[in-house]
Structure 1
Amino acid sequence: MRYDTMIYFQKLTQGEYDQETGDYKDDSVSEDQKQASVMDTTTQMMQVVYGMIKQGSLTLQLQNHYDHPFDQIRIENKIYKVDYSRKLRTKQTFIVSEVQ
């Protein structure tokens, strides 16, 4: 298994309220980069997780556990949400679907 794809765990932070202007500041995104094995989710696993076939679903596998809080995952220019996560002895897998 090749861990050759860069994925980015994103943590979203809402902008704070500015009392002087009455507006909210822009939201910020912080990213944590990791190497992962990225593959299409099998039809059988989609049936287990979603109960149906879902387009744009990927399975990600990391060599180590990722224990930091995050909101979404970016792969190239696409944003994904985590639908299922499983920690193995030393590895961690995620089943993700694309955010529309």
Structure 2
Amino acid sequence: MRYDTPIYFQKLTPGEYDPATGNYGEDAISEDMKSASVMDTGTNTMMLVYSGIKEGSLTIHLQNHYDRLFDRIRVGNKTYGVDFSRKLRTKQVYVVSEVV
């Protein structure tokens, strides 16, 4: 298994409210890059997690645990939400689906 794909754990910070204009500022996104093994989710795993086939689902393997809080994961130009996570002894696995 090659851990050669950069993935970015994103933490979203909502924009501040401006009482003068009544609008909210832009959301701030902070990213933390890790190298991971990224592959399409297998049919058996999709049946267990989603109870059916779901397009755009990925399985991400990390060599070490990721313990910081995050809202979503970016792989390339697409963002994904975590549907299932499992901590193994030294590794961590995420099953994610694309966020529109």
Q: TM-score, normalised by structure 1?
A: 0.96
Shift of 1:20: 3.0
Amino acid at match of 2:55: Q
Shift of 1:99: 1.1
- CA separation in 2, counterparts of 1:81 and 1:17? 26
Structure 1 residues 70-79 or 19-28, which shifts more?
A: 19-28
Shift of 1:28: 0.7
User: What residue number does 1:44 align with?
Assistant: 44
CA offsets 1:29-73 (integer angstroms, 9 cap, x no match): 000000000011110000000000111111000000001010000
Shift of 1:9: 0.3
Equivalent positions of 1:50-89 (< 5 A) are: 50-89=50-89
Report the 3-state secondary structure (helix = DSSP H, G, I; strand = E; otherwise coil) of the residue aligned with 1:44: helix
Q: Gaps spanning 5+ residues in structure 1: where?
A: none
Q: TM-score, normalised by structure 2?
A: 0.96
Q: Gaps spanning 5+ residues in structure 2: where?
A: none
- CA separation in 1, counterparts of 2:54 and 2:20? 47
- Is the counterpart of residue 6 in structure 1 residue 6 in structure 2? yes
- CA separation in 1, counterparts of 2:22 and 2:42? 49
Report the 3-state secondary structure (helix = DSSP H, G, I; strand = E; otherwise coil) of the residue aligned with 2:2: coil
Aligned pairs, number:
100
- Is the counterpart of residue 99 in structure 1 residue 99 in structure 2? yes
- CA separation in 2, counterparts of 1:29 and 1:51? 32
- CA separation in 2, counterparts of 1:88 and 1:63? 10
- CA separation in 1, counterparts of 2:61 and 2:80? 14
Q: CA RMSD in A?
A: 0.8
- CA separation in 2, counterparts of 1:68 and 1:76? 21
- CA separation in 1, counterparts of 2:30 and 2:6? 15
